[in-house]
A and B are shown apart, each in its own frame.
Chain A
């Protein structure tokens, strides 16, 4: 059990290398078995996780370059645990439901490598290790979009790569400076995140470093002015690429905010809270409006996914337990719902080879099962109570309400826009008369597609009704982060903005309980 994280990270990679030997007729069974084993391992990880401990668990540490304090340092807490489980779950159903694809062997091997990098990012606690996995994750995705994408695939994949690569280089500079400051303060080099947590920086340094990290993370999320690569990437990527991009890869940005920016730079976080909140709200409203104007079903979902990422950012920068726990929960929810919606679009694209909403209409009578699942997922995306989205949105907004009432109000209104465009899109595609001849005989979802969709639907509703098994470990871990931030904060404003949990423990407990 001690090295389960190493096994989780490198099992798919080793399997990917061995996969080159497997005959191409059998590669699908091979990929599915590997992904199922990997998912089972991640469940073992969940079982072995002790939800009452708020710190890091399953730690592993091997020094790599001791002179510079770079080590192979792994560990997870409640925040990363569920993202890892989700990543392996999505890779599993992604591979299991892969349609007829050309060069399927290359695709499956690429997916296995992608899985390695995804889990590596969420499990690493050393900045350099984190950076390595972060950058490596670009390569398989570049390949997936560039090799199996639509007509503009080369443009989309290069744009995706250059955009995110630029951002992460700035982040790397930030990391080097952080290590340099650490060396100035303590006399030894270290890239270990846990040791960085102990370093208290003057506010002026914090602002610059925060900006450097913010640049890298914001592009990945993607936040409002940097979001332009995403619709291209989604528009051109094959279904599996969009699903993984939305479900897991985007979470790297928001996860990194929670893991790096907040605990390392609490004063800067408070300083930038309002500007970022404004950006997040613009992002929610603006992308929601853009989504309403789209003709292409996949673009609607792509923009809606960006819009929801805005809520996640808003929750994260509420800087209190409810907000951060809510936003982490929203990350899980965003993965499940957006992943499912992209998959659903993929289902219809496989049948008609078009994603234009004007081509459809009245599908509810032709494909009743498809329409039902799409309906449930759409309601979950809109945030209907008793679906997974409601819990997260409620908590995020509740958290931010404590910081600013007005902005929460605007954000709340913006979510209604979300309901409008989703329902409008649903109406265009599923209701009315069947106008096109080709649509009259479309086959309903088949068994293989059900295999992916039913578990997702169950998760979407189950976590909406009873989120406790996931929410509790998450809020335990967030509590320790918030407490750390409060202790580290040096300016008066930050001390006030970030709650001191040692005093408030009872209050925040009850409020999360109510949220259940």
Chain B
């Protein structure tokens, strides 16, 4: 016989779900509107998404106030975790999304922005990121990761050119592999410790002083590989330039900022205890990764012929810097990380948006990519303001 389940609604603390529920409801509303009356102008969807994001932002500010009063909150069967990390991560995600979404108001007809599904997927994706950030539970992280990634693959594919299918498929296979790695790593950790909550895992591991070091090694390697894909650390970076190159510039800029901040927050939760565990090989492994990412990516960026690819490599190297901050693992480095990433979000979104401004629909003959350096030569003469702004963002 099953025990009757007795859970009081208060103990669930459902309000911790509000920030995620807002974009989900928003996505459903957009789908419903499309169902009731099709063929509406995209400006409607843009503004609605913007409104929902604003509301989301408002609720997060609300939570930030609550947090400063009460400290960390748990909710919804204790899987939701609202702490400073979760709040600031979500704030950056929502803010960057609010910067991105008006770009789709372009008057040039990029057809993917005319579909209501685009905005619904976009909001679902944000909800996924928010779930990732605001939890301690490996399963919920996985769910959030998959929700957001699936939406993102589709967003890339909606561009509807041969190359964008290629990019979406490439991203999808890589992402699927990463997801597989992640679940493997999580499984091993669960087998070792009997828990899927990161703080539990670290407590159990610390209690028996990493006696099963071999298994920990395997698990961490898997997890590192999966986050390596998501964060595009070298040597898991190969997909990045290709995917960025063919997806629309605005979306590429978005991809270089928001999914990464979500992954960084998870990486921070996950690797924090590992970094402080004084296991030598682990630190060495992370150091190698970080140093390689920071240096090699910059060198590759130098030899690119396309601006977008160059920016892609530069974003890889930025990811390396942030990973370094996680590796150092002090409070100071963590706050520096967020500052760094907010600034990076502005400059990177700005740089990609400038590419977006200079986009073209059909490739000119003899040009094999969208944004070769030659296209921008002499920009300062033709459109001086644009050139100045772009220079500013690139700096």
Residues of A within 8 A of B (CB): 1-3, 6-7, 11, 14-15, 18-19, 21-23, 25-27, 29-30, 33-34, 37
Contact = CB atoms under 8 A, between A and B. Distances in A.
Q: Which 6 A-B pairs have the closest CB atoms?
A: A23-B41, A26-B44, A26-B41, A26-B40, A18-B47, A22-B43
Interface in B99-152: 105
Given A18-B50, A18-B51, A30-B48, A2 B65 contact: yes
Contact of A23 (B43, B65, B66): B43
Contact of A11 (B29, B40, B51): B51
Contacts of B155: none
A34 B50 CA distance: 12
A contact patch SS: helix
Contacts of A34: 48, 51
Interface string B31-57: 001001100111110111011001100
Nearest to A4: B62
Contacts of A3: 58, 61-62
Contacts of A23: 41-44
Contacts of B58: 3, 6-7
Contact of B43 (A2, A6, A26, A33): A26
B15 A25 contact: no
Contacts of B44: 22-23, 26-27, 29-30
28 contacts: A2-B65, A2-B66, A3-B61, A11-B55, A14-B51, A14-B54, A15-B47, A18-B51, A19-B47, A21-B43, A21-B46, A22-B41, A22-B43, A22-B44, A23-B43, A25-B40, A26-B40, A26-B41, A26-B43, A29-B33, A29-B36, A29-B37, A29-B40, A29-B44, A30-B44, A34-B48, A34-B51, A37-B29
Contacts of A1: 15, 62
A29 B43 CA distance: 11
Given A1-B15, A22-B41, A26-B43, A33 B65 contact: no
Contacts, number: 55
Contacts of A15: 47, 51
Nearest to B34: A29
A44 to B, nearest CB: 10
A359 B55 CA distance: 50
B224 to A, nearest CB: 40
A19 B15 CA distance: 29
Given A1-B15, A21-B46, A21-B105, 7 more contacts: A3-B58, A3-B61, A11-B51, A22-B47, A29-B40, A30-B44, A30-B48
Contacts of A19: 47
A28 to B, nearest CB: 9
A330 B51 CA distance: 35
A263 to B, nearest CB: 31
B55 A7 contact: yes
Contacts of A22: 41, 43-44, 47
A21 B44 CA distance: 8
Nearest to B30: A33
Contacts of A27: 44
Contacts of A37: 29, 51
B194 to A, nearest CB: 36
B47 A30 contact: yes
A14 B55 CA distance: 10
A466 B54 CA distance: 39
A18 B37 CA distance: 21
Interface in B66-99: 66
A25 B41 contact: yes
A56 B51 CA distance: 29
A63 B37 CA distance: 45
A466 to B, nearest CB: 25
A22 B15 CA distance: 32
Contacts of B47: 15, 18-19, 21-22, 30
A11 B62 CA distance: 15
Nearest to B54: A14
Nearest to B45: A26
Contacts of A25: 40-41
Nearest to B37: A29
Nearest to A30: B44
A18 B47 CA distance: 6
Nearest to B66: A2
Nearest to A24: B41
Contacts of B46: 21
Nearest to B29: A33
A448 to B, nearest CB: 12
A26 B44 CA distance: 6
A501 B54 CA distance: 45
Most-contacted residue by chain A among B48, B55, B62, B105 (CB, 10 A): B48
Contacts of B54: 14
B358 to A, nearest CB: 23
Nearest to B26: A37
Nearest to B48: A33
A37 B22 CA distance: 11
A23 B40 CA distance: 9
B33 A2 contact: no
A26 B114 CA distance: 13
Contacts of B50: 18
A461 B54 CA distance: 38
A21 to B, nearest CB: 5
A33 B33 contact: yes
Contacts of A18: 47, 50-51
A19 B58 CA distance: 19
Contacts of A33: 29, 33, 48
Nearest to A27: B44
Contacts of A21: 43, 46-47, 105
Most-contacted residue by chain B among A6, A14, A30, A34 (CB, 10 A): A30
B118 to A, nearest CB: 15
Nearest to A19: B47
A37 B65 CA distance: 24
Nearest to B61: A3
Contacts of B43: 21-23, 26
Contacts of A11: 51, 55
B248 to A, nearest CB: 20
Nearest to B39: A25
Nearest to A20: B47
Nearest to B102: A21
Contacts of A14: 51, 54
A21 B50 CA distance: 12
B310 to A, nearest CB: 33
A23 B61 CA distance: 31
B40 A2 contact: no
B94 to A, nearest CB: 15
Contacts of B66: 2
Nearest to A10: B58
Contacts of B48: 30, 33-34
A14 to B, nearest CB: 6
A21 B15 CA distance: 32
